[in-house]
Structure 1
Amino acid sequence: MPRPTAAQFSYGSVTVVFATLAMLLLSRTDSGIGVAVICAAALGLGLLVAVTVPLPKRPKVRTAPAPAAARTHRTIEDIEIAAAHTERIGEHSLHR
């Protein structure tokens, strides 16, 4: 899960504070249950706002092609063939 951004924190917090104040002032509730319901609703609204804040777009990363040495995959047979070829070249140069 990605970490929340600063924008998500700030928008969510501001929403919770203002929604709580607005609902408490508009409802004029005095009971503890009413205040708890309003606080829970404000927290839910703040969470909804924080989740729906658009995330910044990530730049597309271009990868460089692998170096030639990394692309070369030699098998043991290839190495043995190259060694035998090198030995034959060496034998020919000795006979001259």
Structure 2
Amino acid sequence: MPRPTAAQILYGSATVVCSALAMLLLFRTGSGIGVAVVGTVALVLGLLVALALPARARTVRRTAPPTAARTRRTIEGVEIAAAQRERVGEHSLHR
């Protein structure tokens, strides 16, 4: 099982706290059973938010993958720059 990311923990925790406060204020419950039900529902909501987060994050990553042409140009540029440095070094030795 993969470990949760920091974003999952943050959004899940924030959901639990905010939804619990909102439901407690909305329903104005004072009994122990009511508070337990509100806490359980808040935890389930937080878990759902935390589990739904990676699906959206993966979708964003898939939209802009690096292209092979762009990667090849970068590699060729590095090779060209290294070759030019070697040539400059050879010219300075001949002087």
- Would you call these one fold, judging by a TM-score over 0.5? yes
Percent sequence identity over aligned pairs: 67
Shift of 1:5: 0.3
Q: Unaligned stretches of 5+ in structure 2?
A: 67-95
The count of residues paired between Structure 1 and Structure 2 equals 60
C-alpha RMSD over aligned residues:
1.9
CA distance in 1, matches of 2:38, 2:6: 25
Paired position in structure 2 for 1:44: 44
In structure 1, the residue matched to 2:32 is 32
TM-score (norm 1): 0.57
Any unmatched runs of 5+ in structure 1?
A: 61-96
Q: Calculate the TM-score normalised by the size of structure 2.
A: 0.58
More helix by share: 2
Larger Rg: 1
Q: Following superposition, which runs of at least 4 residues in structure 1 exceed 3 angstroms of deviation?
A: 55-60
Q: Please list, as runs of the form range in 1=range in 2, the aligned pairs for 1:5-84 lying within 5 A after superposition.
A: 5-54=5-54, 55=57, 57=61
Aligned to 2:88: none
